[in-house]
Amino acid sequence: MSSRILIIDFGSQFTQLIARRVREARVYSEIHPPSRTVEWIREWKPTGIILSGGPNSVYGDNVPLADRAIFDIAPVLGICYGMQLIAHIEGGQVIRTDRREYGRAEMKVLEPKGLFAGFSTKEPVTAWMSHGDHIEKPPKGYRVTAESNGNPISAFRHETRPIFGVQFHPEVAHTPRGGEVISNFLFGVCKAEPTWTAGAFIEEEITRVRKMVGKSRVICGLSGGVDSSVAAALVHRAVGEQLTCIFVDTGLLRLHEREQVERTFRAHLGIKLITIDAEERFLSALAGVEDPEKKRTAIGHTFIDVFEDAAAQVGDDVDFLVQGTLYPDVIESFSPRGGPSVTIKTHHNVGGLKPDMKFKLIEPLRELFKDEVRNVGRELGLPEEMVARHPFPGPGLAIRILSDVTKEKLDLLRAADALYLEEIREAGLYDEIWQAFAVLLPVRSVGVMGDERTYDYVLGLRAVTSTDGMTADWYPFPPAVLAGISNRIINQVKGINRVVYDVSSKPPATIEWE
């Protein structure tokens, strides 16, 4: 069995970064809540276990803890709260004092081996700290391996067992040598093998999908986005002619979306494709609906209704529906405390699946982050123009119209959005941006065009940089580029007379407006 690292999430804002750093080292990792039992962990057979940071104090009431028995399953690395948890479980002393550490700190390595193999005891190491509590006294049998001015116990290890703790965050970019610390744990301590690659994933997933599907027929809903396209290509590699892709033209798509999808999947990939023109059905379902969740539900239910009609054309033996669920969607479905699950954002994929849906789901990408999906797509031979596309929500432009959805508003937004993306490409900025799109606001403003007074829509522009969409910063356009985009939209899209730019980061804002 391939190496794999279990990450137990105690609520840190950086937990997903831990998973990404492990995967970047080509070792598979998964994030799970602290409610996982010791028996479940044993059956999962981790090569190593990482305990994440978190906002709680280990000595508080009703805080997530861990069973001491996990130390007997695999090597353990505790980060921040995870280190304090190790100390607490093993009989050390964790307290809160005025000696808090937030931000960059200079740390001295005391023992250049284990996690710090390759480090020097003479040169200070920059590390990112984020903690109020600290370990006053390490447990019996533990050695201090690093210290800082604000914290004399910045790292420790057990003298004989593979248990390690660091008070800093090696997973963040602000800890320059953090990648080395994680690699030392993976390869020096856990003896993991770097076998997690796009090619290896494809082969494993092909085997799994073939076993699941057998001789049944499969349908896949194509949206034109990266996720559904890669999912379709992967399942097609597994089951060939048993797959039929259904592209539903909802009327909520970007400009020329239908033509591009048909060209790519029919001409380039040779995948069976049925196109359904369902614009009227979707507009009818959305008539007068303004609430974003109700929009998603209406679109999701209509989508499945259209699918079931289309599946009847494929045959009676269609049992499976392919969906492009990604790993961030899965992670967001559980609470770090192991309590009631939070709701997965329903704008992912088709959104709002009907509870009585007759299809069984195939989600071949549910273990992957977005950049990993792109790499799998390239490995499968998808064209770069499709693999590198910015994310696009399953419900389409409906959730980028912040009012009721009409054909007139859709055409207006479609034209403006196309001009926006065209200008970004012409400026050579498309690949620097994670996602860019336009939003039609439920606001009209006064303007002057020529000698005439206008009273038209306000258009919001959004562009963000990100790695996987979990956090994002707004993109700092050169002023000349932003001015050019605004001028072109206002001059060429009749019905819009004002353009604004969104400079909010995630968090606290989300990337999409609805």
Query: Which active-site residues does the annotation give?
Result: 80, 169, 171
* Nearest Cα residue to 285 out of 298, 267, 300, 303: 298
* Nearest Cα residue to 232 out of 197, 269, 198: 269
Host H or E run for residue 438? strand 435-449
Determine the Cα–Cα distance for residues 214 and 242; give it in Å rounded to an integer.
10
Residue 156 and residue 142 in contact, taking contact as beta carbons nearer than 8 Å: yes
* Nearest Cα residue to 135 out of 121, 119, 155: 155
Take residue 459 and report the two structure tokens written for it. Answer: 């258009």
Determine the Cα–Cα distance for residues 16 and 101; give it in Å rounded to an integer.
22
Determine the Cα–Cα distance for residues 411 and 417; give it in Å rounded to an integer.
10
Side chain identity at residue 397, one-letter code: L
* Nearest Cα residue to 205 out of 317, 318, 362: 362
* Nearest Cα residue to 292 out of 247, 328, 345: 345
Task: Report the greatest alpha carbon distance in the chain.
Answer: 83
> Rg of the chain over CA atoms, in angstroms?
26
* Nearest Cα residue to 170 out of 96, 92, 107, 88: 107
The β-bridge partners of 227 are none
Determine the Cα–Cα distance for residues 227 and 386; give it in Å rounded to an integer.
10
- What is each CA distance from 222 to 157, 196, 266, 489, in whole angstroms? 50, 27, 12, 29
**Residue carrying structure tokens 């034209």:** 415
| Angle subtended by helix axes 479-492 and 407-426, to nearest 10 | 140
Residue 436 and residue 453 in contact, taking contact as beta carbons nearer than 8 Å: no
* Nearest Cα residue to 403 out of 460, 341, 365: 460
Determine the Cα–Cα distance for residues 225 and 233; give it in Å rounded to an integer.
12
Determine the Cα–Cα distance for residues 51 and 10; give it in Å rounded to an integer.
7
* Nearest Cα residue to 414 out of 351, 487, 495, 342: 495
Determine the Cα–Cα distance for residues 209 and 328; give it in Å rounded to an integer.
21
